[in-house]
Amino acid sequence: MSAVTFEAVEKGTELPSLTIHLRRADLVRYAGASGDFNPIHWNARVAQEVGLPDVISHGMLTMALAGRVLTDWLGDPARVVDYSVRFSRPIVVPDTEEGVAVTFGGKVAERLENGTARVDLTAVAEGGKVFGAARAVVRLT
């Protein structure tokens, strides 16, 4: 993929979307890599005892997967200057072979004068928005 340049990006530019199927095995692998072994991410009984419908994805895993939309588009993760996410709902991961499909996307919300742009990111699972707000500032030069 060729590098994204400031000249080629306009406000409203849509980033290529990415659909990921999250499965329980993904949550177990992420728990091992991150050290986050909270049982709401792997034990349905515990998740339900605290009022969740079932096991949910780690928020930071969801945030990282959304970040792939940025890094795939930019071609270089070092071009992500700032990135923040506010979650509006969890992603429930059923104990099925298919798991849950999560679609990530993004749109350039603003070009900034210093060769950067603000990108608003989205995540949708089971027809609902996962992010209340997700924004990144990226270098385009």
What does each of the 141 residues of the chain score in pLDDT, given as a tens digit?
Answer: 557 777 889 999 999 999 999 999 999 999 999 999 999 999 999 999 999 999 999 999 999 999 999 999 999 999 999 999 999 999 999 999 999 999 999 999 999 989 999 999 999 999 999 999 999 999 997
Strands 100-111 and 128-129, by their bridges, are: unpaired
Which tokens hold the place of 38?
């909270």
The parent domain of residue 101 ranges over 6-22+56-139
For residue 126, give the DSSP letter.
T
- pTM, entire model: 0.93
Domain count, the chain: 1
Residue 43 in domain: no
CATH no. for residue 126?
A: 3.10.129.10
The dihedrals phi and psi of 2, each to the nearest 5 degrees, come to: -75, 155
